[in-house]
Amino acid sequence: MRRIIALLLITVLSLGLAACGTSNNAESSKKDAPADSQADASGTEESSAFASEESQTASSNVLIAYFSVPEDVDTVDAVAGASIVIRDGEKLGNTEYVAKLIQETVGGDLFRIETTEDYPVEHDPLVDQAADEQDSDFRPELATHVENFEQYEYVFLGFPNWWGDMPMAVYSFLEEYDFGAKTIIPFITHGGSGASNTVDIISELQPGALMMGNELVLSRNDVAESEETVVEWAQGLGINAAVELPESGNGSTVLTAAADAHNSQTLYLWEEGNTPATTEYTQNNGNYSDDPDFRPYLVSFPVPEGAEVKGAVLICAGGAFQFRSDENEGTPVAEELASRGYQSFVVNYRLRPYTQEEGALDLARAVRFVRKNADVYGIDESDIAVMGFSAGGILAGEMLLNYDGLVNGTALDADYIPDTLDEVSADAAADGMIYSFYGRLSVGSTDVEMLRAGNLPPTFYCYGTRDPFYEQFLANADAAETAGVRVERLQLDGRPHGFGYREDWFDAYDSFLTDVFGGQ
């Protein structure tokens, strides 16, 4: 049936072109048959300059992967069909063109998804093959593969909407890799059907990945004039946004700085040369997000002037201890909580190759700073909560289980020299586990005695039913409850891992904190 419809539409298109020259109206009427596949010439000499850019580096944390079929532009009117873009004399397919604009805007590595068996370059056979592949749920074998996939934090994924779905080669790509907690950002070209349900399908195939709801969807008729739109969209994602860190010296750390309850501050957590560590990290081989000279730091988000101050919350973004997903689980969360009356702090803790324990000490140090300056921040010193998303929640749990109270850096590193801040307790009155649990990465603990011995504070769990760790969240919360921990749960039906600040959980968490702090 798809082939018949496609043939009828192609006939209409031919008549429309004969009557209207380069009109785009007929192209739009074809909806999303593979006519809107990228008629790129990436296999020709004309696009060799772009092809040379498709290489991977050891330092980039951004991958721009895209699928595009080199349709023979002579079989379809390239201008009327809006199937190619000509830029500086170079023929680019729609998705290829958008991918290149993204790379020019945010940097990163380009990667073209290719199959071992070439797709037909003639339009009609391509339409037939795309329909056959979808009807049989076929997975084409891929000819290209990403090296060092684990190094990427962000994966832009570009493809045309074919028959209201992703090309089957994109299914092959998504099923080849474990995206873990990476952020997937789709960009989709279409002939009238928008994104269809492709974004939901991506989330189902990679339920642990972060889907931020910020996909780019472009009609093929608009691609050629889309540069400003693409650039603004890519810039607005905040990827790899520069962080203005303080210069080293007096006043740049939580020990030496004067706390400011009215203006945001960025402060290092440890004095230079006195960071407790068991890991020796001197060279980045390309597999780590932070370089060896990284210093853990916090960023404060004060309660707006005139608003009632309810307490303080320290936030740890997730990212599988490979990166910190600040744009989804850090800054926007802090901004929202600050607007609700909580002095908020994003803790940029140490990542791999450092251990979970070393990162927990970073959070404990931040808690001590907030408690020491409770009067400045207008809070009771007992009204301090910690929270984390995914790996960030695991790190918060590690701190509460083993590194709160007056436990200091000497617990890990005998060479650490305690200072006056270590005389302040790192206890927290509440914990927020947002799609997270007490335990290790990917393994929630059900050890009731361990949880009981941790003397854990009231804990708020929030998770989606489509999260791959859903059953572990339930089991961990049950174990914590059995251990005598006050537990509150918020289940989001149908939601995957990584929803971040975008779901409606703030009201429930606000009520939970208000109740806990009010009962101190």
Give the residue from 416, 405, 399 showing the smallest Cα distance to 355: 399
- DSSP designation for 438: S
Name the percent of the chain lying above pLDDT 70: 84
Name the percent of the chain lying above pLDDT 90: 65
Residue 408, Cα to own-chain centre: how many angstroms? 32
pLDDT, residue 169, reads: 96
Give mean pLDDT, residues 250-278: 96
SS3 122: coil
Range in 90-99, 221-230, 403-412, 487-496 the model is least confident about: 90-99
Angle in degrees, 0-180, between the axes of helices 123-135 and 168-176, rounded to the nearest 10: 50
Angle in degrees, 0-180, between the axes of helices 198-205 and 168-176, rounded to the nearest 10: 30
pLDDT, residue 15, reads: 33
pLDDT, residue 2, reads: 46
pLDDT, residue 339, reads: 97
Q: What confidence tier does 46 reach under pLDDT thresholds 50, 70, 90?
A: very low
pLDDT, residue 75, reads: 43
Q: Which of 9-18, 51-60, 161-170, 403-412 has the highest mean pLDDT?
A: 403-412
Give mean pLDDT, residues 332-340: 97
Residue-wise pLDDT tens digits, 356-372: 999 999 999 999 999 99
Whole-angstrom Cα distance, residue 100 to residue 98?
5
Confidence check: pLDDT of 498 > 60: yes
pLDDT, residue 357, reads: 98
Give the residue from 336, 347, 338, 337 showing the smallest Cα distance to 314: 347
Give mean pLDDT, residues 218-222: 88
Confidence check: pLDDT of 125 > 90: no
Domains of the chain with bracketed CATH: 2-236 (3.40.50.360), 295-518 (3.40.50.1820)
**Does residue 353 have a cis peptide bond before it, meaning omega lies within 30 degrees of 0?**
yes
Whole-angstrom Cα distance, residue 302 to residue 341?
9
Give mean pLDDT, residues 297-304: 98
Residue-wise pLDDT tens digits, 371-416: 999 999 999 999 999 999 999 999 999 999 999 999 999 999 999 9
Q: What confidence tier does 250 reach under pLDDT thresholds 50, 70, 90?
A: confident
pLDDT, residue 72, reads: 54
Residue-wise pLDDT tens digits, 82-95: 466 666 766 777 89
- Taking the CB of residue 75, how many other CB atoms lie within 10 A of it? 16
Q: How many helices (H) and strands (E) does the chain have?
A: 16, 18
pLDDT, residue 289, reads: 87
Confidence check: pLDDT of 51 > 80: no
Mean pLDDT of the chain, nearest integer: 86
Distances, alpha carbon 462 to alpha carbons 133, 138, 317, 361, in Å: 39, 37, 15, 24
**What's the length of the chain?**
520
**β partners of residue 430:** 385
The residue that leads in pLDDT, 214 or 17, is 214
Confidence check: pLDDT of 422 > 90: yes
